[in-house]
Amino acid sequence: MAVGRRRTEWRHTMAENSRIAGFRNMTVDERRAAIADATELEAESFAQMDATAFAPEAAADLSENVIGVFSLPLGTATNFTINGTDVLVPMATEEASVIAAASNAARMARPQGGFSTSSTRPVMQAQIQLINVADPHAARTRILERQAEIIDLANAQDPKLVEVGGGVTGLEVRLVEARSETYLLVHLLVDVRDAMGANAVNTMAEAVSGTVAGIAEGEALLRILTNKADRRLARARAVFDRELLGGEEVIDNILRAFELAAADPYRAATHNKGIMNGVSAVVLATGNDTRAVEAGAHSHAVVDGRYTCLSRFEKNAAGDLVGTLEMPMPVGLVGGATKVHPAARAALQIAEVSTAQELAEIIVATGLAQNLAALRVLATEGVQRGHMSLHAKNLAASAGATADESAIIVARLIEEKTFRFDRVQALLTELRSGGAR
């Protein structure tokens, strides 16, 4: 059975296919064959992941002043079970250890059923800033009295969105005391369905701003979405197996690491960066807007005016480690680069998602896995051992070593605990002159 088809089959059976034995040690072609086996991906989908698939002429439709195309490694995290169904998670990242770590943490969640996820409706908000309003409190109530008319006008801008079940779900008005005056902020709450939604809500905000300003007897200035997407949350939860984690002491130390992140903004920033290692990699792989998701995450990490960590860790009654993560997840399957970028289209096929909400939930589960993996390493051996062997691989590659030469050089560097470029060059010279075996 192929992976995916979430929410339908998981109730009946537990797929096994996101566990691909030895995936890490395969060649790229072998990995593609394994993914083809596990999914229903055709050969042409893999061709879309080749750097040459995204022609500069096509890229020029997405951005400006285009002179080329910038490539990054695209990988697949394994071992994920989400709501009882196996999922292969596409991740684009330049950082070593990230995909392996997510896969490893997902493996530790499997014995207890993997990740459970949920999400709110995909509601984005646009803000209209009203200035020079003489009576902001009265203006607020005048706007609310006429909200049906404003909502109809906003919905009229996007019949397609309304047709697919989205559209404005509400209108709120806030008063914000600023240095020079009290601004009236009108928020349009819009269910954007399978879109990220920025363009959709910005268009609505611009279209209704004149009417709203007229009602307030002021003027409209900014008309743009807020990236604090706190009405569009996705959540993930997982129980990580005590034995696979390394026992009770490891769990206690992970909890201490979490407590520090909850209490100290300096640690929280790095804790959250670990989450974003997973989150941004899936967001990028699927052609979504990394900055929008990151802005949402950072704003969500401030609670009662203090920056803290996004995830929570606890020990359950059985003594296992439970992790939870809830964060804004404004991602889409239509619009932006999602449909235009060939590798993003292929990535969405790998993830086998049919709604933006499903994608959002997979992303948050990946963020939680990534977070747990980093905490476990920090609470045990420290990050450098794993990082350094990958770093050694990078050093060997930058010195021009072939795959065979690299394997020998990496083993030597690890043995010597030396990770310097001059040493790599010396080893390579020695190897090519017949030594260093």
Q: Given 273, 314, 339, 381, which residue is catalytic?
A: 273
User: How far apart are the C-alpha atoms of 196 and 337, rounded to whole Å?
Assistant: 11
Tokens of 408: 């020998």
Judged on CB neighbours under 10 Å (0-12, 13-18, 19+), 343 is: buried
The pairing of beta strand 321-328 with beta strand 233-240? antiparallel
Q: Given 300, 315, 387, 391, which residue is catalytic?
A: 387
How far is CA 366 from each of CA 207, 225, 285, 341, 373, rounded to the nearest angstrom? 37, 26, 13, 22, 11
Report the SS3 class of residue 328.
strand
Tokens of 246: 């390394």
| Residue 86 binds to ligand NAD (criterion: CB under 6 A) | no
Q: Are 351 and 88 in contact (CB under 8 A)?
A: yes
| Residue 194 binds to ligand NAD (criterion: CB under 6 A) | yes
Question: Is 393 tagged catalytic?
Answer: no
| Residue 348 binds to ligand NAD (criterion: CB under 6 A) | no
* Complex with ligand NAD: residue 108 or 283, whichever CB lies closer: 283
Residue type, 12: H
Question: Is 341 tagged catalytic?
Answer: no
CA proximity to 192, closest of 287, 330, 337: 330
Q: How far is the CB of 295 from ligand NAD (least distance, A)?
A: 7
| Residue 167 binds to ligand NAD (criterion: CB under 6 A) | no
Q: Which residues 214-243 are close enough to bind ligand NAD by CB under 6 A?
A: 225, 227
Q: How far is the CB of 375 from ligand NAD (least distance, A)?
A: 30
Q: Given 86, 191, 194, 289, which residue is catalytic?
A: 289
Tokens of 256: 């201490």
Candidates 155, 169, 182, 199; binder of ligand NAD (CB under 6 A) is: 199
* Complex with ligand NAD: residue 200 or 379, whichever CB lies closer: 200
Interface with ligand NAD (CB under 6 A), residue total 23
* Complex with ligand NAD: residue 194 or 326, whichever CB lies closer: 194
Q: Which residues 121-160 are close enough to bind ligand NAD by CB under 6 A?
A: 158, 160
Place of tokens 């209704």: 208
Residue type, 110: R
Q: Which residues 256-315 are close enough to bind ligand NAD by CB under 6 A?
A: 289, 292
| Residue 361 binds to ligand NAD (criterion: CB under 6 A) | no
Candidates 123, 168, 186, 196; binder of ligand NAD (CB under 6 A) is: 196
CA proximity to 237, closest of 379, 7, 82, 355: 82
* Complex with ligand NAD: residue 331 or 379, whichever CB lies closer: 331
User: How far apart are the C-alpha atoms of 286 and 431, rounded to whole Å?
Assistant: 41
CA proximity to 233, closest of 334, 367, 35, 40: 367
Kindly report the CA angle at 87 between 83 and 91, in degrees rounded to 5? Answer: 125
Candidates 53, 168, 200, 284; binder of ligand NAD (CB under 6 A) is: 200
Q: Given 9, 95, 241, 248, which residue is catalytic?
A: 95
| Residue 197 binds to ligand NAD (criterion: CB under 6 A) | yes
Question: Is 387 tagged catalytic?
Answer: yes
* Complex with ligand NAD: residue 331 or 395, whichever CB lies closer: 331
Residue number of the CB closest to ligand NAD reads 335
- 130-149: string of b/e by CB count within 10 Å (b at 16+)? bbebeebeebbeebeeebee
* Complex with ligand NAD: residue 332 or 342, whichever CB lies closer: 332
* Complex with ligand NAD: residue 97 or 288, whichever CB lies closer: 288
Question: Is 289 tagged catalytic?
Answer: yes
Q: Which residues 323-342 are close enough to bind ligand NAD by CB under 6 A?
A: 332, 334-336
| Residue 59 binds to ligand NAD (criterion: CB under 6 A) | no
| Residue 191 binds to ligand NAD (criterion: CB under 6 A) | no
Looking at 207-337, which runs of residues are DSSP E strands? Answer: 219-225, 233-240, 302-303, 306-307, 311-315, 321-328
The residues carrying an active-site annotation are 95, 273, 289, 387
Binding site for ligand NAD (CB under 6 A): 158, 160-161, 164, 166, 192-200, 202, 225, 227, 289, 292, 332, 334-336
